[in-house]
Amino acid sequence: MNTKLIFGFIAMLLLFPVTTKSQNLPSGNSVAEKTFAKDDGISVSRKLTMELKDKRGKVRIRETISLRKYFNKEKRLAIFYLTPTSVKGTAFLTFDYPDASKDDDQWLYMPALRKTRRISAANRGDYFLGTDLTYEDIRLETRISREDYNYKTLGKENIDGHSCYVVEGVPKNQKIAKELGYSKVKYWVDADVWMLRKADSWDAAGNHLKTVKISDIKKIQSIWTYHHILVKNHKTKHETIFRFTDIDYQKTLSDDLFTEEALVNGF
């Protein structure tokens, strides 16, 4: 090959790096924003079955009703436990405020104590009622936090045949890292429907802590909806499966269901 042609080709690569694939990837922050921008409907009612499996293989089943409703831009989520008897009447409520500077409000009602406990922001990294998701995970509903991490987009990979953007996040400061319990996270977000399909997290010591896989994503009443979440805790060898059924975005939900009083009164 002509030497001049070789040097000319190298010079083009040096002069025009903007044509490289990495330049076409969206920023991690924009990917996070996209997970919030997707249509979630005004409200939704669904049956949520939780399957908790310990390292010995013992399985416990929890059946709940999960409700979510938007009050203008404020999102409220309520979960009412139906079975078994040992947890029946337990209820959880969260107010997710659009103002990032305002801490979200969360309450947990325990019928055995006949008391409603407020969940502080400092406890948002605690595990939610024996599952392998945290209070913060439950609040986000498989979306990606827009405030807690510094992100970078690593590339694109396929998850279960779906093209996903791979985004890595590091907590913005030690306070956030302590609250969440993570030193690093990694997300795989579907490039077509902007929904999370997989997530990995690492604990404060840098050890691989959890893997979350989200599957059976399909349209319900014209809204893309997840039906199955599998969470594996690599440290405790505990697993949780969340199954969503009887999903209805058109059912009328009273505002009264999203109050502290409703936690006590039940669904």
Q: What local confidence, expressed as pLDDT, does residue 19 receive?
A: 36
Q: Is the pLDDT of residue 51 over 50?
A: yes
Q: What local confidence, expressed as pLDDT, does residue 10 receive?
A: 47
Q: Could you read off the pLDDT of 240-254 as tens digits, one per residue?
A: 999 999 999 999 999
Q: What local confidence, expressed as pLDDT, does residue 181 receive?
A: 95
Q: Is the pLDDT of residue 16 over 90?
A: no
Provide φ and ψ at 264, rounded to 5°: -75, -40
- The CATH H-level (homologous superfamily) assignment of domain 29-64+120-254 is Lipoprotein localisation LolA/LolB/LppX (2.50.20.10)
Tokens representing residue 77 in the block: 């989520």
Q: Could you read off the pLDDT of 60-78 as tens digits, one per residue?
A: 999 999 999 999 999 999 9
Q: What local confidence, expressed as pLDDT, does residue 23 receive?
A: 55
Closest to 35 measured CA to CA, from 146, 135, 139, 134: 146
Q: What local confidence, expressed as pLDDT, does residue 15 receive?
A: 46
The span from the CA of 126 to the CA of 61, in Å, is 20
**How high does pLDDT run on average in the chain?**
92
Q: Is the pLDDT of residue 2 over 90?
A: no
Q: Could you read off the pLDDT of 212-230 as tens digits, one per residue?
A: 999 999 999 999 999 999 9
The arithmetic mean of pLDDT across residues 145-173, rounded, is 97
Q: Could you read off the pLDDT of 168-197 as tens digits, one per residue?
A: 999 999 999 999 999 999 999 999 999 999
Q: Could you read off the pLDDT of 75-127 as tens digits, one per residue?
A: 999 999 999 999 999 999 999 998 878 888 999 999 988 899 999 988 999 99
Q: What local confidence, expressed as pLDDT, does residue 103 receive?
A: 86
The span from the CA of 110 to the CA of 134, in Å, is 17
Could you tell me the pTM of the whole model? 0.88
The span from the CA of 178 to the CA of 106, in Å, is 19
Q: What local confidence, expressed as pLDDT, does residue 4 receive?
A: 52
Q: Which is higher by pLDDT, 23 or 52?
A: 52
Tokens representing residue 19 in the block: 């044509």
Q: What local confidence, expressed as pLDDT, does residue 183 receive?
A: 97
* Proportion of the chain above pLDDT 90, given as a percent: 85
DSSP 21: G
List 253's β-bridge partners, or say none.
none
Closest to 168 measured CA to CA, from 17, 18, 21, 25: 25
